[in-house]
Structure 1
Amino acid sequence: MNLLRKILFPFAILYGFITSFRNFLFDKGVLKSTSFDIPVIAVGNLSVGGTGKTPQIEYLIRLLSNQYKIATLSRGYKRQSKGFVFANASSNALILGDEPFQFYQKFPNIQVAVDADRTNGITQLISQQERPQIILLDDAYQHRKVKAGFYILLTSYGDLYADDCMLPTGNLRESRSGANRANIIIVTKCPKDLPDEIQNDIRKKLRINSSQQLYFTGIDYDDFIGDQEKKIAVSDIKKEPKLLLAGIAKPKPFFDYLKNKNDECLTFPDHHHFSEADIESILIKAQGKKIVTTEKDYVRLKDSKLATQLYYLPIRSHFLGNKQNFDATVLEYVKRSANLNFENL
């Protein structure tokens, strides 16, 4: 913890009090939460960024989209549009934000929308002529004006919310007690061989209650990098000199997976909008070599001057165990919620 964050500790106490009081008002019904007659699954975290929400949303899309009509609803962080936007063929990362645009391009059979006001966003989605059957709320754990039917809370291995403190001293958006709202808690970005005894220690540290389920996941990096037309084996690209480019919260694992001693790693802030000056600078640094970036960055850069040199590395979330139980729990919620809402019509 740096000195400035320590100095700001009194503000962390104040911020914690404000967010806790706000949650108290929602819990007691003083502040209104809106429920909807459709299964709504919220995925989020207690901390600021970097817990792997995008791979988890994509996992849920793959799990559910063969049986149900899915819609994702995100805020659209750093987008240049306002209000509710429904993704269509003219959309891009500037209009939707990088992650929603990635969903739209990757999963053509789902609906994708953005709206900072999630209540309005859901209302707009369910008023569409082709109404979705399930809505996945991306990064909406603190959006208490919507009462989701099911909450999935993510926390990163090595950066657990139980070891953190409130902003601005730490990275927590709300106090650790906010985890009590979660139906499922997932520890993300775990090593593949995480021992059972460490998993049990984490369970105790997070104080999982009897009504909650805890899972551990890791990130699988693909064996190929690609662009819109071709693929190259990672085993081959590792041997080449290249420029590795990332504008994500925690790029080190991405760099470590691909780099060799001749590579240059170039880091930008999370959700960075690349300017023309940025593009020119990247081209100069690349010196004609291949440029490999993350999938989230690729959707922002694929139509730029970098396109002929640009490739991305796909990732997926994988469960260290109990995958079938996670799948069954989510599917059971969807089935039960859909049936109850149908009965109440």
Structure 2
Amino acid sequence: MSQNIIKKKSKLLLPFSWLYKAGVVLHQKTYDWGLKKSQTFQLPVICVGNLSVGGTGKTPMAEYLLRLLTPELTVAIISRGYKRKSKGIFIANKNTTVAEIGDEPMQYHIKFSPAKIVVGEKRVEAINETLKLFPATEVIILDDAFQHKAVKAGLNILLTEHDNIFTDDYYLPAGQLRDLKENYRNAQIIVVTKCPADLSETEKKNIIQKINPLPAQLVYFTTLVYGEPYHIFNAAATQPESVKNAVLVTGIANPQPLIGYLKRHDISLKIISFPDHHRFGQSDIDQIKQIFQSIDKQNKIIFTTEKDAMRLKEFEKEFQDIPVFAIPGEHQFLFNTGNDFNNVILDFIKNKS
């Protein structure tokens, strides 16, 4: 099954897209006309987001920032907590479940325990509550908040996918855009994500020309690299090269980069794709196990993403004696610009603090 939303465009739906865009314009005007106010904060606030509905690599970018900042700074990351069962503001603790905060915040919580993980639909309220409870907070990261006007971040990082640059996209529902194209001007940094590792200088220049950044905007390019898979229920590990038959289970917006990665390792795949943030049920688990057991090979495995692993962990008993491994993914900056990007982030924090 395939239920991905990325890169599906239909010109037949353009009339509905015009209506959608009109609604977005009207919403933005409420801020432009002063009917609603954007709030700023004294401490450094970094926003990671995009103009589309998903698939640009926001989670790996948020992790990149956490990896960069948490060793030296007290960091809080604030997310909406999409498809969580709780309401209002929720602070992750040692007993927190994925149902309470959502899959992406749970992933941050497990991997970056020094950081404060906060979820809340209203970002201003979530920031104020975070600063009230954790006054020593030095940096706030807003996860997926570029389209939210209520908070004016000091540094906006806008992500756009190499294979689906926002300039070429349509507004919902004909395309994937949820925010106005011209709002790219609000970003200080634009990152073109999921590029081929061998992206040429010529294509780089063509993309920059297409984006047409403002003079002060910085444009970076990253590729997605995958790390060593790890068992989601115990400490075992394996390399993809040691496996030739696998079931790939994903509930993310765009699994194509991961599919391509595994196929390049000559792995015979059976792919089960669910919608982004899909909440697995027993029937899903039964289907996954049935497909896995239908592979008439000894050397077989189930692969999934780290985000999906957060939602699959509650089915540990059902996967007893079945190897289920998560494959971590990270952004790697191209053209030797990683240190430059890091310094821009650190200089912003230093100058804002």
Separation (CA, whole Å) in 2 of partners of 1:335 and 1:272: 39
**Counterpart for residue 274 of structure 1:** 280
- Normalised by the length of structure 2, the TM-score is 0.90
After the TM superposition, which residues 160-171 of structure 1 pair with which residues of structure 2 at under 5 Å, given as runs? 160-171=165-176
> Which residue of the other structure, out of 308, 319, 332, is the alignment partner of 2:333?
319
* Residue 4 of structure 2: aligned partner: none
What is the aligned counterpart of 2:58 among 53, 56, 71? 53
Aligned to 1:284: 290
Unaligned runs of 5+ in 2: 1-6, 295-299
1:299 and 2:299 aligned: no
Please list the CA deviations of residues 228-262 of structure 1 after superposition, one character each: whole Å capped at 9, or x if unmatched. Answer: 3111122112x2x2211111111122122224464
Contact 1:225 1:234 in 2 (8 A): no
Aligned identity (percent) is 39
Counterpart Cα distance in 2 of 1:88 and 1:225: 24
Instruction: Report the 3-state secondary structure (helix = DSSP H, G, I; strand = E; otherwise coil) of the residue aligned with 1:131.
Output: coil
- Give the structure 2 partner of residue 219 of structure 1: 224
For 1:168-247, what aligned pairs fall within 5 Å after superposition? 168-227=173-232, 228-237=234-243, 239=244, 241-247=245-251
What residue is the counterpart of 1:264 in the other structure? Answer: 270
Amino acid at match of 2:77: T
Question: Distance between the aligned counterparts of 1:27 and 1:331, measured in 2?
Answer: 31
Q: TM-score, normalised by structure 1?
A: 0.92
Q: Does 1:135 align with 2:148?
A: no
Separation (CA, whole Å) in 1 of partners of 2:32 and 2:104: 30
Q: Is the 8 A contact 1:75 1:116 kept in 2?
A: yes
Q: CA deviation at 1:28?
A: 4.8
Any idea what the Cα deviations from partners look like across 1:124-162, whole Å, max 9, x if unmatched? 100014532111000001110111111000000010000
Shift of 1:9: 1.6
CA contact (8 A) 2:228 2:237 kept: no
Measure, in 1, the Cα distance between the counterparts of 2:104 and 2:170: 27
* Corresponding residue SS for 1:263: strand
Q: Which moved more, 1:311-320 or 1:123-132?
A: 123-132
Matched AA of 1:254? L
Farther off after superposition, 106-115 or 165-174 = 165-174
Tell me how far apart the structure 1 counterparts of residues 238 and 268 of structure 2 sit (CA, whole Å). Answer: 19
Larger relative contact order (CA 8 Å, sep ≥ 6): 2
Structure 1, gaps ≥5 residues long: 339-345
Kept after mapping to 2: 8 A contact 1:150/1:182: yes
Cα pair 1:301 1:307 within 8 Å, conserved: no
1:329 counterpart = 2:348? no
SS at 1:8's partner residue?
helix
**Aligned with 2:173: secondary structure?**
coil
Q: Following the alignment from structure 2 to structure 1, what is the Cα–Cα distance between the partners of residues 278 and 304? A: 13
Aligned length: 335
Distance 1:252-1:307 versus aligned 2 partners, 3 A rule: farther
8 Å CA contact 2:47–2:155 kept in 1: the answer is yes
> Aligned pair 1:120/2:125, yes or no?
yes
Shift of 1:64: 1.0
CA distance in structure 2 between the aligned counterparts of 1:181 and 1:26, rounded to whole angstroms = 14
Coordinate RMSD, CA, aligned: 1.8
1:255 aligns with 2:259: yes
Matched, 1:79 2:87: no
Return the alpha-carbon distance in structure 2 between the equivalents of residues 92 and 255 of structure 1: 28
1:7-47 deviation line (CA, Å, top 9, x unaligned): 33222122222212332442453420111121111100001
Higher deviation after alignment, 39-48 or 321-330: 321-330
The 3 A distance-change label for structure 1 pair 129 and 70 is closer
Q: How does 1:80-159 map to 2 (within 5 A)?
A: 80-129=85-134, 131-159=136-164
* Counterpart Cα distance in 2 of 1:307 and 1:199: 47
The 1-side partners of 2:321 and 2:227 are apart by 21
